[in-house]
Chain A
Amino acid sequence: MLRESMQMSGGQVDVAQVTRGFGETAEVAHAAALAEFAEAVVLRDAERAAAARARLHTVLGPEGLVDAAATVAAFHGFVRLADAIGIPYTTAARGRDVPELREAAGINAFHRVRGEA
């Protein structure tokens, strides 16, 4: 989905950042700040999340911060649905996530893929 959205906006993205982390050089505005916020929330690090929240508020404004928080939250649900019901991951993004893309993103190292290898 990230690659598709970047292509539609005329840009490209190094998909390895999905697993390695997003740096300031990413072609998405404030990608590093967004990723830092996401990581702090996932890791339940309240102090780190507060700092990331303040930064997002500065660069995105209050509405952007709320939508960033809502998106982080949504994916705490999606991952649990997908992984508890065992839906086929080869259908992700309507089948656009081909094996080569998963390899480039580092996703083939994940437990579920390795478990089926």
Chain B
Amino acid sequence: MPASAFQGCDVPVRSDLVDAHERAWAAIAAPGTWLTGARRVAIAAETRRARECALCAEIKAALSPNAVRGAHDTLGALSGAEVELVHRVVADPGRLSERWAQSVLARGLAEGEYVEIVGVVAMVMIMDTCTRALGLPDRALPASQDGAPTGYRPPGAKKRAAWLPLVEPEDAVAADGPMYPSPKAGYIYRALSLVPQSLRDYWALASCHYLPGDVVYQFDRTIRAISRPQTEVIAARVSALHQCVY
């Protein structure tokens, strides 16, 4: 088993954060809803590869992301559509478009696969960024677990507000499993709802880094060692540097 992500850190790391990373890596290694464990670990590896991709750097520097043509530097374990999805989401997320998302789907990815891949990429970005921010190297990737994906698609999923189908809180059913902390959960919370297990895995990790859902809108309260305004200075600056409007 690989060592803890925070091994060697020169400051003490709260135990819930350490546990969240271990649970998240285990979830990535396990069979998902549409992807096998091996494919999910391959996506994690490609997420890291994308950080060094020359084409991605060229796209990021271009005035228009559509002005650059070429091939991504890939590990070669994924399809062309998967590689395009992983690399663009890692390297230049603020300039994605609905037309681009539809072009990725048209290359042979199912909507559920697209959403599950985005969930894995986002989880790897959180964990690798957290360790790097603390001056640590990337944790070794986990060994994948055997097993078949469940293939579950929520019956209430509809394409309405976003580029991909979402399950609005009022359309969730018991078979989806627990998804939302409240019926008023924001759209960021609903983003992965086409794949409920991805949603649960993602938020178990993300809430531990930012704030749990029941605290997010309590602006006068903090449960962290930095104040709420300090938290939001970081949040706003990181989002702006990514050109994220949300």
Contact A92 to B133, CB < 8 A, known contacts A68-B226, A70-B17, A81-B191 = no
Say what secondary structure dominates the interface of chain B: helix
Enumerate chain A residues within 8 angstroms of B225, measured Cβ to Cβ: 60-61, 63-64, 66-67
The CA of A50 and the CA of B246, in the complex, are separated in Å by 29
A87 on the B face (CB < 8 A): yes
Interfacial residues of chain B within 195-239, with CB under 8 A of chain A in the complex = 202, 205-206, 208-210, 217, 219-220, 224-239
Q: CB distance A62 to B12 under 8 Å?
A: yes
Choose among A29, A76, A112, A113 the residue that contacts B129 (Cβ–Cβ < 8 A). Answer: A76
Q: CB distance A26 to B242 under 8 Å?
A: no
Contact A80 to B121, CB < 8 A, known contacts A69-B130, A70-B210 = yes
A102 on the B face (CB < 8 A): yes
Q: Contact flags (1/0) for B158-170 with A, using CB distance below 8 Å?
A: 0001111010000
B85 to chain A, nearest CB (A): 8
Contact A83 to B135, CB < 8 A, known contacts A18-B236, A77-B202, A91-B186 = no
Q: CB distance B97 to A115 under 8 Å?
A: yes
Choose among B12, B101, B239 the residue that contacts A78 (Cβ–Cβ < 8 A). Answer: B239
Measured as residues with beta carbon below 8 angstroms from the partner, the interface class of chain A is 35 or more
B190 on the A face (CB < 8 A): yes
Enumerate chain A residues within 8 angstroms of B227, measured Cβ to Cβ: 9, 28-29
B148 on the A face (CB < 8 A): no
The CA of A7 and the CA of B132, in the complex, are separated in Å by 32
B14 on the A face (CB < 8 A): yes
Contact A30 to B230, CB < 8 A, known contacts A69-B133, A86-B101, A88-B187 = yes
Enumerate chain A residues within 8 angstroms of B236, measured Cβ to Cβ: 1-2, 18
The CA of A47 and the CA of B123, in the complex, are separated in Å by 25
Q: CB distance B219 to A8 under 8 Å?
A: yes
B107 to chain A, nearest CB (A): 15
Q: Contact flags (1/0) for A34-49 with B, using CB distance below 8 Å?
A: 1101110111100001
Residue contacts A-B, CB under 8 angstroms, 10 given: A1-B232, A11-B229, A18-B240, A30-B230, A38-B238, A70-B208, A77-B126, A85-B164, A92-B186, A107-B240
Binding site for A on B (CB under 8 A): 11-14, 17, 51, 85, 89-90, 93-98, 101, 115, 118-119, 121-123, 125-127, 129-130, 132-135, 161-164, 166, 184, 186-188, 190-192, 202, 205-206, 208-210, 217, 219-220, 224-246
Ranked nearest first, the 5 interchain pairs of A and B with the lowest CB-CB distance are: A86-B163, A73-B130, A63-B225, A69-B133, A74-B209
